[in-house]
Structure 1
Amino acid sequence: MKLTKKIIIIDDHLLFCDGLKQIIEKTLPADVLCINNPLEALAIQLSDFHLVIVDMDMPQMKGLEFIQQARILFPKLSFLIISMHNNPSLIKRAKDSKVDGYLLKDETSEVVLKGIKTILEGGSYYSEKVLQLIKDEENIPLLTKREEEILRLIVHGKILKEIADELCISIETVKTHSKNIKTKLNIHNKADLMKYALDNLIP
């Protein structure tokens, strides 16, 4: 008799949550819990679950931010992202943060189940669609954590001194990071910086 796995789906789209829950429980020996608010999920004992399935774009908290916070509380968790977002730089950020898998929401049920089973067995799984997106953009530049923080504050309208004060660094350091961000992304105006932050779900 196979051991029943406990899986939690964190996604604010109720129909998707319920549909995926039915597919998993019909096919695998698994009990699935759906939670539509990532903040509520952080308040429960996530270590009881064998796999956490997460959407990337939720109004209360973005998927990668949720994963970062959940890992602090529960370091051994396994995460699978299932998202409509197919932006290569966003996927690469997820991969570089060592998320166990990434699937798109238009994958077949067979691909989704294969990804879930692979991770439950201790592996990692990025679908062919996702891997092709990354391959097509192999030289995508990634921002450092500090550069992301500064970009977020720039997009929110903070001036250099305010950013320096908030991050407890010098104005010159902020200027250097700001220059590096624009060089890496080949972006030289605030409108394009805002678009990059929006496309990459930088809150």
Structure 2
Amino acid sequence: DARRRLCKPKGVTVVPEQGCQFASLVQSADINSITSVKCWEGIDLRWFNTLQDTTSMVFTKQYGFRFSSCEYRGLADKQGVLSVDFGADAVGIWRTERRVRFQVRESGTVHAIMASWEVYASDKALVMSTHPDATLHNFPRDMQWGQGLQLIEDMESQGQGDGPTPYIVSEGEWLWLVTRYSKDGVTMQFQLERATEPVDEAVEPPADEAMAEAVAARAASD
């Protein structure tokens, strides 16, 4: 919006030029402890876990801690869920839903999906990132942006009236990462599904191809 309102049609360099949103599966006893309850002074509080919010993305600074200071383990390679060209794209470049098929690298329990991003200069040689390994020694960046966390439950194994079922994965298992975007692109939501059938490719093109399609469609409409 700022580019359209404030910049000339040609001869403008947008900094940063490109960016990518990532999602990572994490196992963390610290996160599990912060976001759930057990007992206090002999009182069993575990029923309150039925109210646990597993649908919303929450910034780590809203929880009041730095994710980079927590013990955690990544269970799969981080997945790119949206690529953006800030010099060419417009609101609506994202699709309502995107599915990415990937393989689990380590067995464990997916306590949360962590959202982080990278932005790049034109040649991608200069990168600014909010991945926790990049912000470990960068307190201001953590306080400004931090990361997003969405707690995860196994929806396919959910029992009637029970609390959220832990999402347990095995090394080598294939999963679908489903990413849903709000119309304005401000928020997104993740869901994990087990890939029960062998698939050669994702059901839609990679983010860069989707972005190219949208740019071409926009140019045609102009």
TM-score by length of 1: 0.29
TM-score by length of 2: 0.27
Q: Whose Rg is larger?
A: 2
Tell me which protein shows more helix as a share of its residues. 1
Q: Which has the higher contact order (CA 8 A, sep 6+)?
A: 2
Tell me which protein shows more strand as a share of its residues. 2
